[in-house]
Structure 1
Amino acid sequence: MVLKTIFLTRHGFRANWFDEPAPLHPSGLEPPDTPLSAHGLLQAQELSHFLTPQQPHITRIYSSPWYRCIQTVEPLASALHVKIIPEPGLGEWYGLNRTDDPTPATAAELQNFYAGIEPDHHSLFVPAVTGESIEELYERSAYVLSRLIKQLDEDPSGPESVVLCTHAASLVAFSRVLAGDVPSDPSTQDIIAYTACVTRFERQSGVPVRVLPMPGAPHRSLQRDWLDERARGGRWRCVLNGYGGFLSSGRQRGWRFSGKESFDHKVQAHGLDAGTGLGVVLPDEGPQGNGVSQL
């Protein structure tokens, strides 16, 4: 049995996007980083209701270790009785000028807020604290995907469907790499990255995964060898692209790359939105039910 389906989703609405206090955690502890707003928690519930009955049955959930991502898939993990696997390789992207950005909580710290965290996961990749170019973000995405798909293909329990919860820029990069289609202009609006929406990929053909060298290794060159289908275990087709028909408020807080060539400027107001300055926030859309990919 091999992996057949990958669901990607972006975290829900952040508390500091609304002019209201963040909901208190039942433990009384201060969240390790910006949590979801009350609206974001509702989106997480709606996401769970949509994904829980999906086939093939979801048996793995990987999430960026940022708390807002963990919160987004908590209801789904509880409904499916599976643990959330915190993976730094799914983390936020800050461009090249990462000087004073925060770091996410550890698995042990996250267990104080949600008991269903997998504590023994060995990280696939940890992004550089010095920052990443957009090409390096693609390299990171390809490396994490190659390792993750290989692990799941070889898992004796035979998982067929996995959820990856991440951030806007990372969702776009992971999706482009998985599709094997990276536009020359990064600001191209091909992948839809709205909060708590779903992008679904189906495996069209399977080959043994050729795990790529780790980004940043001395022998590693940025030659886009991950465009070779073997790096992702065959061909994948996007069948849902930013689908939000299950969200009562529709698609909100969309994001795309700004198109600034270097992405090396200092980002302002990280606490508000890590994508500020590196991307463009898109207008909200009302409830919709299309989401069919044009890739």
Structure 2
Amino acid sequence: MPPPHPISPTGIDSDSPLAEHGIEQAHQLASYLVSIDLKPDMILTSPFYRCIETSQPIAESLDIDICLDRGVGEWYKKDRPTIPQPASVDALSKFFPKRLMTDIVDISGVVPSALGESEDEILARCQTFWRNFIPQLEKVLPQVETLLIVTHAATKIALIMSLLGYQSVRENLKPQDRVDSFKTVQTGSCSLSKLTLNNSHWELKMNGMTDFLTNGSEMNWNFTNGFEAGSDEDIASRKAAAEKTEAQKETEEISDDEYEDVYFTLELPSSRHSTLASPFDVPLASKARKKRSEPKAETGDQEGEDDDSEEGKEEPDVVFQKQLETSLMSNIEPTSVLQMSGLETSKPLVQINESIFQGRWVKVNGTEMIYDDSGELVAKVDDRIQLTAGKLKRKEENPDVTADQEMSDLRIKSEKGTTFLSEVLNLADHVDEEHKQNSERADTP
């Protein structure tokens, strides 16, 4: 942040020059104005040093003159100890000898009060400015069709609001006057606003545009700030806001450092294995199906014949495996929902749609490559999560516990602070071995 009050070249209180960053912005604005079709014919500027300094590179680039007018000078509140008065045109011409007009000054004839102004008074000042300035400009400089006014934040707001017919500097712009959805006049440093006359009616076509500035909009001030633009209080407020923003950025950077990008592949269970499934969403078969057998000589069954004999039935676990495998492989699509938990553990938990799997980290034989849609290499993968066999059993129903109580219990963390998904993972460890044994028995001839 620049010091509150850099040394004034004119020796006048608060008549500070631009900081180096402000000079860069002025040159960026000049470059933009050179590039557009509708270029200014003349510059009208506040007589304070920083405004003339902003106008200088523009005047040089466009080969136009600079005219001073106190009617667009700075706004100072009435309770201010000192109300600065700008230097004379003769004093200022020594600093800006090339482009500053000395024969035509204060076209509007409006002079801000030496006692300071209220918000209503600066609006009234600008209303008077327009009434006086426009006819006088047409009389003195009839060749000027496009005018660039270089002024201060508060005065810019009052100039635009008065020209559009508003009765307060704090009013929100009406929908028909809004540009880029801004509800108020934008006053960022070196920002550009544009008003055009259409059938005796002024229209706001551009509101505080800063696309040409490297850092975009900066120091956007309005009357709700409670301080004069550029005052000690305003600078202190901006400094505190900048420090807060910087502290937030540092916090975000520290937070980002706590994470790392991890690339790996998932290996789904083979056809001989089942999965660790959701205990709530995977239905168990109410009846076991028969094993496939040789065709019978007889054709058809008698109506109502019971073919659910004990002989030839599959074990329930085998049925469960086949149902679950079929459901899983048929439901995995590009739009499937994939969630993972416990990647930092040896047995992470993976959920695909409504099915939950238990996995283990294994090393890939060789190296796998991941490419994006355009064929660019994203990462090399050395690790894989291999989804292993296992099954969760449905919890026995308790007639004394309601469904709402059950769901509430699932949301409550255990004494160890583990979440519900971690509880599922812990439970899977206990039932995994039992299910493997059941699967082995089912596979034994």
TM-score by length of 2: 0.46
How far did residue 251 of structure 1 move? 0.5
1:158 paired to 2:122: no
Q: Does 1:171 align with 2:156?
A: yes
> 2:46 maps to what in 1?
64
Q: How far, CA to CA, are the matches of 1:83 and 1:275 in structure 2?
A: 33
| Preserved contact between residue 196 and residue 205 of structure 2 (Cα < 8 Å) | yes
Question: Is the 8 Å Cα contact of residues 52 and 58 (structure 1) preserved in structure 2?
Answer: no
Take 1:20 and 1:77, find their aligned partners in 2: how far apart are those partners? 28
Amino acid aligned to 1:51: L
Q: In the alignment, what sits opposite 1:54?
A: 36
The answer to whether the 8 Å contact 1:187/1:257 transfers is no
Which structure has more RCO (C-alpha within 8 Å, separation ≥ 6)? 1
How far apart are the structure 2 equivalents of 1:195 and 1:108?
A: 27
Q: Secondary structure at the match of 1:65?
A: coil
User: 1:248: which partner in 2?
Assistant: 214
CA deviation after TM superposition for structure 1 residue 79, in Å: 1.4
TM alignment of 1:22-61, pairs within 5 A:
30-32=9-11, 33-61=15-43
Q: Corresponding residue for 2:122?
A: 137
What residue in structure 2 maps to residue 192 of structure 1? 186
Q: Which one-letter code corresponds to 1:103 in the other structure?
A: Q
Q: Distance in 1 between matches of 2:57 and 2:145?
A: 20
2:429 matched to which residue of 1?
Answer: none
The structure with the largest helix share of the pair is 2
Partner of 1:201: 195
Q: Bigger radius of gyration, 1 or 2?
A: 2
What is the CA-CA distance between 1:30 and the residue it aligns to?
3.3
Q: CA RMSD in A?
A: 3.1
Structure 2 equivalent of residue 18 of structure 1: 2
| Preserved contact between residue 123 and residue 168 of structure 2 (Cα < 8 Å) | no
Distance 1:65 1:157 in 2: 23
Could you say what secondary structure the match of 2:186 adopts? coil
Aligned counterpart, 2:102: 119
Q: In structure 1, what is the Cα distance between the partners aligned to 2:4 and 2:224?
A: 28
1:214 corresponds to:
none
Q: Percent identity?
A: 26
Given candidates 86, 89, 110, the residue that maps to 1:104 is: 86
The amino acid of 1:250's aligned partner reads: G
Correspondence 1:235 to 2:201: yes
1:233-277 deviation per Cα after TM superposition (whole angstroms, max 9, x unaligned): x211001000000001110011010276xxxxxx7xx8x824847
Q: Could you tell me which of 73, 88, 92 is aligned with 2:74?
A: 92
1:81 and 1:250 map into 2 onto residues whose CA distance is 26
Are the aligned partners of 2:68 and 2:105 in contact in 1 as well (CA < 8 Å)? no
Assess, with a 3 A threshold, how the Cα gap between structure 1 residues 248 and 77 changes in structure 2: closer, same or farther. Answer: same
Q: Which residue of 1 aligns with 2:230?
A: 273
Q: Quick one: distance in 2 between partners of 1:106 and 1:98?
A: 22
- Stretch of structure 1 that moved more, 146-155 or 177-186: 177-186
Q: Is this contact kept in 2: 1:202–1:237, CA < 8 A?
A: yes
Unaligned runs of 5+ in 1: 1-16, 24-28, 206-233, 261-266, 285-295
Is the CA contact (8 Å cut-off) linking 1:56 and 1:160 kept in structure 2?
no
Tell me how far apart the structure 1 counterparts of residues 141 and 45 of structure 2 sit (CA, whole Å): 22
TM-score calculated relative to the size of structure 1: 0.68
Q: Note closer, same or farther for the CA distance 1:102–1:72 as it changes in structure 2 (3 Å cut).
A: same
* Distance in 2 of aligned mates of 1:40 and 1:162: 22
CA–CA distance in 2 between the matches of 1:110 and 1:187? 37
The alignment of Structure 1 onto Structure 2 pairs a total of residues equal to 225
Instruction: Report how far residue 91 of structure 1 moved.
Output: 0.8
